Amino acid sequence: MTQDLPIVRMKPKSNARAIRHGFPWVYDNEIVTDRRTRSLDPGTIALLQDENRQELGIVAFNPNSRIICRMLERDLTAKIDRYWLADRIEKALRLRERLYDQPYYRLIHAEADGLPGVVIDRFGDTAVVQPNAAWADVLMDDLTAALIAVTGVKNVLKNASGRARTLEGLDEDTRTVAGTVPSEPIPVPMNGATYMADLVGGQKTGLFFDQRPNHAFAASLCKDARVLDVFSHVGGFSLAALAGGAKSALAVDGSEPALELAAKGAAAMGMADRFTTRKGDAFDTLAALADEGKKYEVVICDPPAFAPNKQALEAGLRAYERVARLAAPLVAEGGYLVLCSCSHAADLVRFQGACVRGIGRAGRTAQLIRTGYAGPDHPLMPQLVESGYLKALFFRL
């Protein structure tokens, strides 16, 4: 099999040892790029060799990406086709079916599930696929067929938005590739709450499943509490808080469509009378609420990635510190402050340090009672620190 694949070779003194130990990426400065390799199409399946021509595995090659090779398979006899894709999906499905009693979850979490660059979120009989690597774009028809065959979903949407595809040099052609994707938001049950997911026009795949366990823990703190959910999107924390017995919940976000979906979720739960929304810039709204003398037993801030890369790290940490400084005064004595980060570049130590500085600058003292991460349908690939992006810190002030 492998003799039919084009060969790409690592340069002398490149880090082949890391590849042997499970690291899944080869960067463009580690590959010999001659006329032959430069002529390979993005998404080409190739055989990776080290500088001594020892075979390391089968990779997906993209000359347009900083990540020029993504490891697909270490078995050199494997054939990357529909059946191979089905096998990977089936293994991922077995884990999710053990974890969840309803088909709402992240089915494929990229490298950690053996399909590098591929994200698939499942919403009942509809799946939203983000093929964020060129090889998955090339094999989209086979990926779709394998997905339907293994899971039985009827509808598949290709979501081509996002920064990751831009970095791969890919298009933004979002389209339905199988069945009929619902044009109206669909209800998604999670942690006793009902979320309205806009699969076509919403952010990412329509809903963030990764915060599920953190929503649940936050909800356990919210019985009879007044709750403030800042950067709420479609009400992730606030709707879970209502399901957990919160007295009231205020969702703050800059997106009116997201807040409308949150309100529809509260209505579907029969809790519209305890739920309110406020559209506005999060920083401005936090300051305004303080000026109004507002206090809440639970305050949650779950912002977008302030530090999506190393270049943005210092500015991102300052932003996280500012969020903590503005949010802490709104927490009633003995109440709880939940601060989250989905930034790859800001590791837990730096993120926690920024949060603690912000709380201190607000004149508050804190106990850290829990550190949360993404749910188990977002498994961590141990060799790839980027796959462990989500952090949630639960403080008692």
How far separated are the first and last CA of the chain, in Å rounded?
A: 61
Give me the CATH topology for the region 186-396: Rossmann fold (3.40.50)
Sequence-separated (6 or more) residues with CB below 8 Å from residue 17: none
Distance in angstroms (rounded) separating the CA atoms of residues 374 and 16? 30
Residue 266 has phi, psi (to 5 degrees) of -60, -40
Question: Is 3.30.750.80 the CATH number for 82-178?
Answer: yes
The span from the CA of 190 to the CA of 143, in Å, is: 27
Q: Is 275 helix (H, G, I), strand (E, B) or coil?
A: strand
Rounded CA gap, 256 and 142, in Å? 37
The CATH architecture of the domain made up of 2-73 is Roll (2.30)
**What pairs with residue 157 in β-bridges?**
128, 176
pTM above 0.75, yes or no: yes
The length of the chain, given as a count of residues = 397
Per-domain residue ranges for the chain?
Answer: 2-73, 82-178, 186-396
Spatial separation of the C-alpha atoms in residues 266 and 271, rounded to whole Å: 5
Under DSSP, is residue 200 helix (H, G, I), strand (E, B) or coil? coil
In a structure prediction context, what are the per-residue pLDDT tens digits for the chain, which is 397 residues long? 456 899 999 999 898 999 999 999 999 999 998 888 989 999 999 999 999 999 999 999 999 999 999 999 999 999 999 999 999 999 999 999 999 999 999 999 999 999 999 999 999 999 999 999 999 999 999 999 999 999 999 999 999 887 888 888 888 889 999 999 988 999 999 999 999 999 988 777 889 999 999 999 999 999 999 999 999 999 999 999 999 999 999 999 999 999 999 999 999 999 999 999 999 999 999 999 999 999 999 999 999 999 988 899 999 999 999 999 999 999 999 999 999 999 989 999 999 999 999 999 999 999 999 999 999 999 999 998 877 899 999 999 9
